Amino acid sequence: MKIHEYQAKALFWEWGIPVPRGGVAATPEEARGIAEGLAGPVVVKAQIHAGGRGKGGGVKAAATPEKAYEAARQILGMQLITHQTGPEGKRVSRVLVEAASVIDRELYLSLLVDRSRGKECVVFLASEAGGMEIEQVAGESPEKIVRCAVHPAVGFSPFQARKLAVGLGLSAAQRDPFAEILRNLYRLFLEKDGSLLEINPLAVTRAGDFLALDAKLTFDDDGLYRHPEILALHDPAEEELLEVLAGDASVNYIKLAGNVGCMVNGAGLAMTTMDLIKMAGGEPANFLDVGGSASPERIEKAFRIIAADPNVRCILINIFGGVLRCDRVSAGLIQAATHSSMDLPMVVRLQGTHRDEGRRMLEASGLRFTVADGLYEAAEKAVALLGG
Ligand code: GDP
Ligand code: MN
């Protein structure tokens, strides 16, 4: 789960990581009020879950409260497009107004979980090329990136802080405050089950102090149950609407770019089905696992979520009936098709418990569907339907 910059900065503040003073505003009047309180030049920043806001016109400097009002008026309500939002952009409903800083250097700092075999630990990445995308730095001048893996049993050590400080060319006087920031970031990351934390840029002010000017923080979804205060920061407006609906229906759904909708039980079978669709020359529109004990109601919800994607031109239903019986799947599909006026063609592959009963129900329903027995046969039939 991602959170907004202003929420991440509030956490930073709480954990002793220096951030600019500021506040969040939903209207230009509120933005002006915050700027008045800060009594000096400010920066007005769009709050969306995507980077590249600066280049996209979502970050504006304002010398006076009146200019902050004007900047907020321009940014609020805009459909901000950055390289991370996709072509449709994201609607801005809040801005962060914070004291502008006089920056001497811009550094890059992040923490992530390295899952590769034999590593499996938290890693610090730092670079003197802050303000730039780290992917670009990695491509053009990888020698500018300093890495430091933290052994989970040993924890973050002072020598690692020194290594990173030297790699960034920090002065002797800056090393202790820098080490303090690293220690606090590591504690925050571990305590709250972070999966990615990025500060780009970590500014060095003219006075030589550090200040996190940007903050991106992502949490491990599987750890959220331990942190209700983090879960409370969830912003459903930032997510794919269909994925939110799927979450409510307890269905594992990930929207993809293709046009063959998939309904499958079991994550492994769902992945295999997607592979087979691609092998047959099609593109899956989604990953969807209805789970092992789905009721007809849940099948109906899953079906509606798939059909609500405007790109979907046919649906492949691949169910291996075990605990989830084929007749209950058919009941759900019939329920869904009669409750909605959906008339997309379907390919149905039912195998396992109560298969014959499931098929009979579908045949008697008058729905538009094609039966398949084999896995690959089902994928081929679905792709063939796209041509017709
Ligand atoms: P992003 O483009 O979404 O990553 O948003 P950032 O928070 O990184 O802001 C974009 C750029 O605005 C940063 O790289 C900084 O160069 C600049 N910026 C942000 N805050 C300040 C500030 O307080 N003072 C100055 N001078 N520049 C700032
Ligand atoms: Mn940034």
The pLDDT tens digits for 158-201 are 999 999 999 999 999 999 999 999 999 999 999 999 999 999 99
For residues 22 and 42, the answer to whether their CB atoms sit within 8 Å is yes
Q: What's the rounded mean pLDDT across residues 115-122? A: 86
Ligand 2 geometric centre to CA of 38 (Å): 22
Residue 198 annotated to the active site: yes
Ligand 1 geometric centre to CA of 48 (Å): 14
Query: All domains of the chain, ordered by start, with CATH?
Result: 1-19+102-239 (3.30.470.20), 21-100 (3.30.1490.20), 240-385 (3.40.50.261)
Catalytic residue among 108, 238, 300, 380: 108
Ligand 1 atom nearest residue 100's Cα: 23
Mean pLDDT of the chain: 91
Nearest C-alpha neighbor of 123 from the set 143, 148, 142: 148
Rounded distance between C-alpha atoms, residue 164 and residue 170, angstroms: 9
Ligand 1 atom nearest residue 50's Cα: 3
* Ligand 1, CB within 6 Å, residue ranges: 20, 43, 45, 51-54, 59, 100-101, 103, 106, 131, 200-201, 213-214
Ligand 1 geometric centre to CA of 123 (Å): 24
Rounded distance between C-alpha atoms, residue 316 and residue 365, angstroms: 17
pLDDT, tens only, 35-89: 999 999 999 999 999 999 999 999 999 999 999 999 999 999 999 999 888 788 9
Q: Which of 4, 42, 48, 59 to mutate to test the pocket of ligand 1 (most atoms within 8 A of CB)?
A: 59
Nearest C-alpha neighbor of 130 from the set 106, 109, 110: 106
116 — pLDDT class (breaks 50, 70, 90):
confident
Kindly state the percentage of the chain with pLDDT values over 70: 99
pLDDT, tens only, 292-348: 777 788 888 888 889 888 889 999 999 988 888 889 888 888 888 888 767 788 999
pTM: 0.75
- CA separation (Å) from 224 to 203, 220, 338? 30, 7, 38
